[in-house]
Amino acid sequence: MTTFSAVVTTGIYCRPGCGAKPLAENVKTFELAAEAEAAGFRACLRCRPYRVAGPVGADAPELVCRAVQLIIAGALDTGTEAALGERLAVSPRHLRRLFHDHLGVTPDQLARSRRAHFARRLLDDSDLTVADVAFASGFGSLRQFNRDMKLVFRASPVELRNRRRRADRLAADGGLAMRLPFAPPLHWDALSTFLGERAVPGVESVLDGVYRRTISLDGEAGVIEVRRGGDDHLLLIAHMPFWEGLIHVVDRVGRMFGVDADTAPAEAALCDDPVLGPLLRARPGVRVPGAWGSFEIAVEALLSQRCARPQVRRQLAALVEAAGTAVPGLEDGLTHLFPSAETLAHADLAGVLPATTAKTVRGFAAAVAADETLLDGGASLAEFTAALTALPGLGECAAQQIALRLGYADAFPGADRTICTTLLANDILDDSDGLATAWHPWRAFAATHLIAAGVPTLAA
């Protein structure tokens, strides 16, 4: 985990590796940049800690981690701490106390810091106007934007734009380019292969090491592409109909590729395991893959219960062709937006899917359309999987697959075909769920390594 060093005599905080050499007695450490800012420190102009990726609350209780994910998804852009607490079934006072005890900040302070840091990156990297930067970063008004930037960085947005370095600016043909920083290593081949194996035809593609997909923003179509950028960052190029809310697009992409993940605790816990130890050493930097759309990967998991992957791809292609929104003029096989839950709940899938499968998909879509919290990741793992398996036709392995992609660290789809293949290759014939008890609470990380080892193209 990144530890930020703050110098009490200068009022500045730095990231690890900064060239500043303060006296040890003058240094305080913080796990979060937001925590240092809440204590009154400002970001160093030399090492620019706002450009560093880092996990938020990885070691905190599950409820705090769930709250952080909801904040990252925008729960406090227009909502309140009281509404967030109600969503998590706790009082706002208790939620603030948990955040203070485990993160050193309030939920509002964390949200403000994330927005300000993202805006600072846009001011550095892009040529967006100051107004576009404000709304792209989730601020509700220019007045709020100016106030918070001065509070966090002690300078106005215009002053910060004038300070950017020549090498910061990124240019992309027809799109907005952004760096997605990560703490090395990151196994790009493992991530891109995992996503490529599960790419929805017409919606996603992985070609020549570049991941591309269509996205929907308030009903308008856009395209994102992600590729390896350097030793410490991926490169995102976004083609969007408007820039408002860009921060959430970037956050969702970041979660897909695990750029903020802190894998050190899981690696330390599993490095001596007789099964996982060799896999970790063979593929350093493997991250648990996330998902762009929770409903999309849930449908894929549901179909995977009954069919091998080639047939699942054919079914997904037919589903997208029949119910997805066409997006003309794109390249690399991208043709449609994935249909929404509301659309699939009422779609005529006769001839698209087998009758029983079509009924299950429509029923699942109707449940998601009726309850927007079903797939939002706000529940505990046990509550989440129980809610999914209560739906007709959705089994435990599929629920665990969905949970893994949505960021539940202890999710483990033990009946996954690739996981079973890898365990058999290691002469393990016992029940994989029982074996995985020793891998708690890092079973999603363990499952990802087992899946990576079972795909020939990932051989390191």
The per-residue pLDDT for range 119-175, each reduced to its tens digit, is 999 999 999 999 999 999 999 899 999 999 999 999 999 999 999 988 888 876 678
Tell me, what's the pLDDT at 41? 93
CA distance 447 to 436: 9
Tens digits of residue pLDDT in 176-200 = 999 999 989 999 999 999 999 999 9
CATH number of 62-126+138-155: 1.10.10.60
Burial 194-231 (b: 16+ CB within 10 A, else e): bbbebbbbbbbbbeeeebbbbbebeeebbbbbbeebee
E-only strand ranges, 54-208 = 176-181, 204-207
Q: Report pLDDT for 412.
A: 94
208 is catalytic: no
Rounded to whole angstroms, the Cα distance separating 186 from 446 reads 16
Which pLDDT score, from 0 to 100, does residue 458 have? 36
Residue for token pair 């380019």: 177
pTM: 0.88
Residue 457's pLDDT is what?
44
Residue 236 C-alpha from the chain's centroid: 14
* H or E element that contains 16: none
Exposed e or buried b per residue across 144-170, where buried means at least 16 C-beta atoms within 10 angstroms of its C-beta: ebbebbeebbebebeebbeeeeeeeeb
Burial class of residue 34 in the structure, from the number of CB atoms within 10 Å of its CB (0-12 exposed, 13-18 middle, 19+ buried)? buried
Sheet holding 12-14, edge to edge: 27-30, 4-7, 12-14, 42-43
Task: Name the residue with tokens 């729960």.
Answer: 75
Looking at 3.40.630.10, 3.90.1150.10, 3.55.40.20, 3.30.310.20, the CATH number of the domain 178-458 comes to: 3.30.310.20
The neighbour count for residue 285, using CB atoms within 10 Å, is 18
139-148's contacts with Cβ under 8 Å and 24+ in sequence apart are 139/115, 140/77, 140/78, 145/119, 148/112, 148/115, 148/116
For the beta carbon of residue 326, count every other beta carbon within 10 angstroms: 12
In whole angstroms, what is the distance from residue 299 CA to residue 360 CA?
Answer: 10
Q: Which CATH number fits domain 4-49: 3.40.50.10540, 3.40.50.11540, 3.40.10.10, 3.60.150.10?
A: 3.40.10.10
Residue 47 bears catalytic tag: no
Q: Tell me how far apart the alpha carbons of residues 146 and 206 are, in angstroms, rounded to a whole number.
A: 40
pLDDT at residue 460 in the model: 34
Catalytic residue, candidates 273, 416, 420, 431: 416
Q: How far is CA 389 from the centre of its chain?
A: 24
Residues 166/168/174/179 CA torsion (nearest 10 deg): 170
Q: How is residue 9 annotated by DSSP?
A: T
Domain ranges of the chain: 4-49, 62-126+138-155, 178-458
Joined tokens for residue 29: 């450490």
What's the CA angle centered on 246, arms 241 and 247, to 5 degrees? Answer: 175
Written as six digits, the tokens of 231 are 């030793």
| Residue 168 Rama label (left phi>0; alpha psi -120 to 50; beta) | alpha
What residue type is assigned to position 455 of the chain? V
User: In which residue ranges of the chain is pLDDT below 70?
Assistant: 1-2, 53-55, 57-58, 172-173, 427, 429-435, 456-460
Q: DSSP assignment of 305-361, as one string?
A: TTS-HHHHHHHHHHHHHHHSEE-TT--TT--EEPPPHHHHHT---BTTB-HHHHHHH
Q: Residue 405's closest CA among 249, 235, 252?
A: 252
